[in-house]
Amino acid sequence: MKTLTGIFLDTGNLQEIRTYHALGVIRGVTTNPTILVKDGVLGGWEGIEERCKQIARMVEPLPVSVEVTTNDSDEMREQARRFHGWAANINVKIPIHGPEGETDNLRLIHELETQEDIRINVTAMMSAQQGLLAAMAGATYVSLFAGRVNNMGYDARQELRRLRQLLDACGSPARIIAASTREALNIIEWFEAGADIVTVVPQFIETMLVHPYSKETVRQFLEDGRTLQREGAPDVTMTGAH
């Protein structure tokens, strides 16, 4: 059992990253082409490079995942080298296989990790067996899209537990990322199931943090604090927890 790493923020929005990084609660950032489009990255490669470098600088030395935008092996290799050159804390996301099940990606992942010392986050995985192969190929991070697994009617926690056991049994140093959170509860559940890292969209950090009863409790403390500070204050009403 490895030490839990924590939350990777799943966004390309600079303001969100600044906010949650400043709270000290994130341990990395993940992006993908869909996220970067949604978060308004424009200007082709210049725009991508600028945004990814900004994110990397903002959270340094925490890791930032940037995904390849092609299915061609040579272009993927070239993009991986390029992303790696942008910042030391950028790692490269490569899907487990191509859109038609092409298997070249695993060879590339193996070569980039073992021959070029580039950290790879293998993405778009739905099963423990895919995760095992990605780890065997030498990937630093193996991302199981747990929310999408749940969407298909399976319980992603079973796959996470299996993957955890398999990687522990073979002494793999790969870090398990549980991705695609769909509700706040996923985060704790997936850590409990063995994930090292869970990717979290910013709104769920807010959901984890803010509790209605904590709000009420703090309101009471503040109210009594004001009473306490007034000269000749009467007894403080102790209506809540002490």
Q: Binding residues for ligand E4P, per CB under 6 A? A: 10, 30, 32, 34-35, 123, 143, 145, 147-148, 179-180, 199
Which is nearer to ligand E4P, 82 or 182 (by Cβ)? 182
One-letter identity of residue 59: V
Q: Which position among 2, 38, 53, 93 bears the catalytic label?
A: 93
Q: How far is the CB of 151 from ligand E4P (least distance, A)?
A: 8
Which is nearer to ligand E4P, 34 or 69 (by Cβ)? 34
CB of 96 closer than 8 Å to CB of 113? no
| Whole-angstrom distance, CA of residue 30 vs CA of residue 92 | 10
Instruction: Give yes or no for a cis peptide into 95 (omega within 30° of 0).
Output: no
Name the H helices within 90-232: 104-115, 128-136, 146-151, 156-169, 185-192, 202-209, 212-229
One-letter identity of residue 46: E
| Whole-angstrom distance, CA of residue 136 vs CA of residue 170 | 9
Q: How far is the CB of 8 from ligand E4P (least distance, A)?
A: 8
Which is nearer to ligand E4P, 199 or 230 (by Cβ)? 199
Q: How far is the CB of 123 from ligand E4P (least distance, A)?
A: 5
Which is nearer to ligand E4P, 183 or 216 (by Cβ)? 183
Q: How far is the CB of 190 from ligand E4P (least distance, A)?
A: 11
| Whole-angstrom distance, CA of residue 204 vs CA of residue 200 | 7
Whether residue 2 lies in the annotated active site: no
One-letter identity of residue 114: T
CB of 21 closer than 8 Å to CB of 58? yes
Which is nearer to ligand E4P, 25 or 35 (by Cβ)? 35
Question: Cβ atoms within 10 A of the Cβ of 115, count?
Answer: 9
Q: How far is the CB of 139 from ligand E4P (least distance, A)?
A: 13
Residues known to be catalytic: 93
